[in-house]
Structure 1
Amino acid sequence: MKKLLATAILCSALSGLTACSTAINNDTSEVQMTDKWDKTFKLSEKVIHSKVTFKTRFGTTIAADMYVPKSGEGKYAAIAVSGPFGAVKEQSSGLYAQTMAERGFVTIAFDPSFTGESSGTPRYMASPDINTEDFQAAVDFLSNLQNVDKERIGIIGICGWGGIALKAAAVDTRIKATVASTMYDMSRVIRNGYFDSEDSKEKRHEKLAAMNAQRTKDAADGVYDRDGGLPDVLPENVPQFVADYYSYYKQPRGYHERSVNSNGGWAKVSALSFMNTHLLSTIGEIDSPVMLVHGEKAHSRYFSETAFKQLKGDNKSLVIVPGANHVDLYDRTDLIPFNQIEDFFKVNLK
């Protein structure tokens, strides 16, 4: 059961775009992106889709899907999207990005460093600093597109990437508006356990000892062991939220062959950096507008409620979606409040 809980933690215009991406020295030699449409959602007739890449300051190459509205002209407001934690751009983030492009924004959904079609070895690693940089590198890219107004860029983070989006907004003044949907604070849940049930020095020491022993083993073996991910067959009597994750990541609804959560899970030592980081420690200094969106019945709702208390100013909001659980806000377009998200960005990216 403890392993299951740990696993669940670890949740026309195109010619101008191509020319611009070349101008900022993208290197595609490190990534191999498929040409086929392999998303968990259908391609919209209202957008133009393309694959793009860009570099981070740590040297990884980020692979992204770009969505451009077919209608409209001039310079657009733009939004970068990522998450959930352990997902790929073909899943929830792509759905959000395409939907926001249908509503008039240039968007990208990207795979974080070390995952999906993005570069970075060893694979299946996460880092608060590197993943925050992934968002900032996405802003670099969008800022240099010919049809994007660099003063009108926002971000959306889903699940664990909601917390990372807030971290990015706290450090990057170019981000003018942020939405965190069904947010996790990954450092809190890894350090303290769910509902802070393991919030003690002794419990953290146990986790650190286990992960550092794993480092020794990995170094000896020359390979990083993975945590195994969600089981292929769901055991009986698991917590409801684990069953919810299973219903998305392991079923046709949301399964993807490159998704960490759909397959073998993260490297076991990947959580170490989150143990040493308080991800949301500076979000009280975010001046730009923030919207937190969470399901009424989500087990993770307390992350957004706590974060909302930390945020300062009258340009912050918390939207609770009636009846929704955590994963409903991954892909349930009848529940995700896209109208409110659209209004938020149109008001704050004008």
Structure 2
Amino acid sequence: MTKTFDIYENIASQNVRFKNRFGIEIAGDLYLPEGYDHQKNPAIVVSGPFGAVKEQASGLYAQEFAKNGFVALAFDPSFTGESGGAVRNVAEPVMFTEDYSAAVDYLGTLPYVDRERIGAQAICGLSGMALTAAGADMRIKAVATASMYDMSKSMYLGYMNSYTDEQKAKLREHVSQQRWVDVDNGASETGKYRLGYHELGFDEKGHVVTGESLFPENLPEDADPVSKAFFDYYCTPRGYHERSINSTAAWTATTPMAFYEFPLYHNIKDISPRPILLVAGENAHSRYHSEEAYAVASEPKELLIVPNADHVDLYDQKDKIPFDKLVSFFTENLK
């Protein structure tokens, strides 16, 4: 399957492999600026959105950074895409956070990368992991996010942090019971775990709603605008990729448990004095995630709201993604 974005012929790319500290092999696409082998270059690791693959938005961002003089590495998190991990479609916040540091490890082995000038760019649901990684990993000198989601809050607290204690208890009970389903089906032996929504909802009677595919084959005409925007990216030629969880399936049904246990970017203040740039669309349903992160982060920090943009616009709409700002941010802070 080819990449979902236009390729720049003057930007070389290489398919690479490296391991995280748990021994899982991570797959990446390395984008190289012109003349990269004649100097020590700044570098950026890129991943996201949650459930996407490196051939989608992260690859587009990485290629654009390479066009502007950065060595850029777009990677698939553990258990997804072309990366390793025996059980597929598992989202694990600790592991995904580690994957960012593993990507930094890899870049630091390249003779044409300056170890003191490595930054991180995250998109959508990998943003919380990038911020968490940067809080602990001092080698990440600057971090930017686009259309940020805090997946822990989104899964456990619901949209705009609206779930009640009763609803949260129902979520915990549902996911706990899914573990029994996997036990009884011998999933640990077969590696075939039941799939389900990572962001569980409730029907009109208050029952938990789930399913084994994030999107139907055809979206109903009365679908809400957010579902339509995601569907238009992941399930049409615009952004569809056969290895993308969001395009083809769902996460393992027990995935939310780890996010109930693991609050993301709790260490965001530790990023300072390294800078943070949070980018969100003016009309994005997820905008509040960036605003909440900005509120608790320490200086230097910046929140950039893109006029007339929604959440998914910042995946691939080059006329709305503020690449000039992102490039200047990393240029200034990866001197």
TM-score relative to the length of structure 2: 0.91
Structure 1 partner of 2:288: 302
For residues 182 and 268 of structure 1, the distance between their equivalents in structure 2, rounded to whole angstroms, comes to: 25
Give the whole-Å Cα distance in 2 for the aligned partners of 1:336 and 1:122.
Answer: 34
* More deviation, 203-212/253-262: 203-212
Paired residue secondary structure (2:160): helix
CA distance in 1, matches of 2:227, 2:168: 23
Q: How far apart are 1:340 and its partner, in Å?
A: 0.4
* Map 1:83-102 → 2, pairs under 5 A: 83-102=48-67
Rounded to whole Å, the distance in 2 between the matches of 1:207 and 1:235 is 26
Q: Quick check: 71-80 or 258-267, which moved more?
A: 71-80
Q: Is 1:48–2:4 an aligned residue pair?
A: no
| TM-score, reference length from structure 1 | 0.88
Distance in 2 (CA, whole Å) between partners of 1:280 and 1:168 is: 8
Give the CA RMSD over aligned residues. 1.0
Aligned with residue 224 of structure 1, among 187, 193, 205:
193
Q: What is the Cα deviation at residue 201 of structure 1? A: 2.6
Say which SS state the counterpart of residue 62 (structure 1) adopts. Answer: strand
Between the aligned partners of 2:85 and 2:166, the Cα distance in structure 1 is 33
3-state SS of 1:261 partner? helix
Letter in 2 for 1:226: L
Q: CA deviation at 1:285?
A: 2.1
Whether 1:133 and 2:98 are equivalent positions in the alignment is yes
State the one-letter code of the partner of 1:133: E
In structure 2, what is the Cα distance between the partners aligned to 1:235 and 1:192? 26
In the alignment, structure 1 residue 292 sits paired with structure 2 residue 256:
no
* CA offset digits 1:3-26 (Å, max 9, x no partner): xxxxxxxxxxxxxxxxxxxxxxxx
- Structure 1 segment 243-262 matched on structure 2, within 5 A: 243-262=228-247
- CA–CA distance in 2 between the matches of 1:203 and 1:276? 16
Instruction: Tell me the equivalent position of 2:175.
Output: 211
AA in 1 matched with 2:257: L
TM-superposed deviation, 1:232:
1.2
Take 2:96 and 2:153, find their aligned partners in 1: how far apart are those partners? 16
Residue 89 of structure 2 corresponds to: 124
Deviations 1:198-245 (A, max 9, x none): 1x3321111111111111111111231112121111023222111100
- Corresponding residue number in structure 1 for 2:257: 272
Equivalent residues, number: 312
Instruction: Give the deviation of 1:118 after TM superposition.
Output: 0.3
| Residues 1:312 and 2:298 are matched in the alignment | yes
- The separation in 2 between residues aligned to 1:316 and 1:211, in whole angstroms, is 36
Residue ranges of structure 1 left out of the alignment (5+ in a row) = 1-36
Gaps in structure 2 of 5+ consecutive residues: 197-212
The more displaced of 212-221 and 339-348 is 212-221
Cα distance in 1 for partners of 2:30, 2:313 equals 24
How far the C-alpha of 1:92 sits from its partner, in A, is: 0.2
Instruction: Give the equivalent residue in structure 2 for 1:159.
Output: 124
1:242 matched to 2:211? The reply is: no
Q: Select which of 73, 79, 91 maps to 1:108.
A: 73
CA distance in 2 between partners of 1:225 and 1:76 (Å):
44
Whole-angstrom distance in 1 between the partners of 2:268 and 2:289: 13
Aligned to 2:46: 81
Correspondent of 2:147 among 182, 185, 207: 182
Q: CA deviation at 1:145?
A: 0.7
